[in-house]
Amino acid sequence: MELFWQGFTGAIRLILSADPAFVEIVERTLFVSGLATGLAVLTGVPLGVGLAIGRFPGRRVLGVLVNTGLGLPPVVVGLVVTLLLWRSGPLGALALLYTPIAMVIVQWIVAFPVAAGITRSAIELLDPELLDALRVFGAGPVRCGWELVRATLPQVGFATAAAFGRAIAEVGASLMVGGNILGQTRILTTAIVLETSRGDFALALALGIVLLILALLVNVGIRAISPVPR
Amino acid sequence: MRMSVTFGTVVVILLVLLTACAGRAASSLHDGMTPTGVPQGMVEGQSRTIILATTTSVQDSGLLDALLPRFQEETGYVVKVIAVGTGQALELGRRGEADVLLVHAPEAEEQFMAEGYGQLRFLVATNDFVIVGPVDDPADVREASSAVDALRRIAATGATWVSRDDRSGTDLLEKRLWQEAGIDPRDQSWYITSGQGMGMTLVLADQKRAYTLSDRATFLAFRSSISLVILAAGDPALINPYHVITVNPTRFARVNARGAEAFARFLVSQVAQQVIASFGVDRYGESLFRPALVPTVTPQP
């Protein structure tokens, strides 16, 4: 129990101290997960719309793939992306392995099925007459999609929050493709793994509490700007 | 309608903030990659970066944090440390995915050199392994005459033993000791495998009141949070030598050979050896590693 107390006070001390090394890790965490979430929303939401209202071959298969993606194990994503980014791998010439960009890529891969899945189920729950009306008025597929996303904005807000949650909580893949390098690719979750393996449980716990506070703030923020559900 | 306009505005503001944040994060990243006081232009472009694949103990103990800033200051190279355990480090070297390795499994290293994957190999430091276990010591390991004898006693009593089973340097030594003891512990009910790093394995062994083999540095780092004690130490078979190996650039075109060699030569330099000799004294009251320069230097291949 003493450890929990140490973790809690440690978290407060970390935040108050504004130690540059700690602030840098927090900034990198927000940068990587924020960018990954942005990409996940930009790709996942249109995909979700397409799955809900699109009529194209392979839609059902794609839908099953997206649902499977909701449970995509991050370590597998990490392993595959690592092998692709290896010097000897097909994308080795890009020299992206052990950089924050590689971490953005893996977090985007695990987060975008979340954004797609939630958007899709939200639109499928809409009154089908709305879509019929749009089509009657001659709206094209892009216009239709846009109007449907506007009609489900609270749920799209929720999809964004969920995608962010999946991205920022992810550790296995970020550890593999980032390498947890101090000053370059260390983020909160990988720092927690390192401090745990170093035996500094109080610091690991403190970092965990900071991570929770961040997730809480971002969720409150997204809630505050999302329209109230009607 | 008004709602969605507000939402759109906020999204735009968020994106702007994100971009600003990205710029800041990128600039601080850049700061991290350019240590202050580095003479610019000593090394350029991609060749400024060295990938070091290493055993976890040198990172978990904090030794690398003490050594790397000096090396980066001296040479301008940026070292990317991938702490993975000796088995995986050697494997990354075999594929040319790392430039230089810091490992501790002499037999596997010699095989690596014999296969022509390595170029230079220097002894950097040594420390020792210890057999740790519960204070009440049900297998009487304290009375053991050697490490192998200790394992025989544990097997005879059926006391629980935790193996890392992750092909790390520690794990390879443990496997060899069991072989020397003439015991095949696999499939025994008292033999459990953790598949984790040294620290987590010590915690697991502590919770199960079991015996395990640990490097002294990690054990000292965990001593305050577990109740295991050192029961056997000092056997020459338990000496733990750390070698630095540069990956052979003739096999892999993209290996940063110059940077790797600079790093290997730095580790055996007077400066680095002094850092190693005094490392850990302030925190544990004893040094965690013994420098290699003074006693022996491995003959160059």
Confidence (pLDDT) at B287: 86
Contact B32 A184 (CB under 8 A): yes
Domains B45-127+240-291 and B128-238 share a fold: yes
- Sequence spans of domains, chain B: 45-127+240-291, 128-238
Q: Tell me how far the alpha carbon of residue B59 is from its chain's centroid.
A: 6
Query: In this predicted structure, what is the pLDDT of residue A141?
Result: 85
Mean pLDDT for A52-59 is 88
pLDDT confidence of residue B224: 86
For an interface test with B, the pick among A35, A180, A198, A217 (most B C-beta atoms closer than 10 Å) comes out as A198
Task: Give residue B32's pLDDT band: very low, low, confident or very high (50, 70, 90).
Answer: very low
Mutual angle of helices A201-225 and A153-169, in 10-degree steps:
170
Q: Summarize pLDDT for B246-287 with one digit per residue, the tens.
A: 999 999 988 999 999 999 999 999 999 999 999 988 888 888
| Cβ atoms of B245 and B93 closer than 8 Å | yes
For B49-77, how does the pLDDT look when each residue is reduced to its tens digit (9 = 90+)? Answer: 999 999 988 888 889 989 999 999 999 99
Dihedral angle over CA of A141, A144, A145, A149, nearest 10:
180
Domains of chain A (ranges; CATH) run: 27-186 (1.10.3720.10)
Please give the ipTM for the structure prediction: 0.74
Mean pLDDT of A13-35: 94
Interface of B with A in 217-256 (CB under 8 A): 221-222, 225, 252, 254
A31 interfacial to chain B (CB closer than 8 Å): yes
Q: Do B25 and A31 touch (CB under 8 A)?
A: yes
Q: Note the pLDDT tens digit of each residue in B95-148.
A: 999 999 999 999 999 999 999 999 999 999 999 999 999 999 999 999 999 999
CATH T-level fold of B128-238: D-Maltodextrin-Binding Protein; domain 2 (3.40.190)
Is there a contact between A27 and B25 if contact means CB atoms under 8 Å apart? Answer: yes
Whole-prediction pTM value? 0.79
Average pLDDT on A97-108 reads 96
Is 3.40.190.10 the CATH classification of the domain at B45-127+240-291?
yes
Judged by CB atoms closer than 8 Å, whether chains meet at A179 and B81 is answered as yes
Distance between CA B165 and CA B260 in Å, rounded? Answer: 30
Question: Which of B3, B15, B254 is closest, CB to CB, to A227?
Answer: B3
Contact A29, A207 (CB under 8 A): no
Two structure tokens written together for B2:
């008004």
Is pLDDT of B29 > 60?
Answer: no
Question: Distance between CA B237 and CA B130 in Å, rounded?
Answer: 10
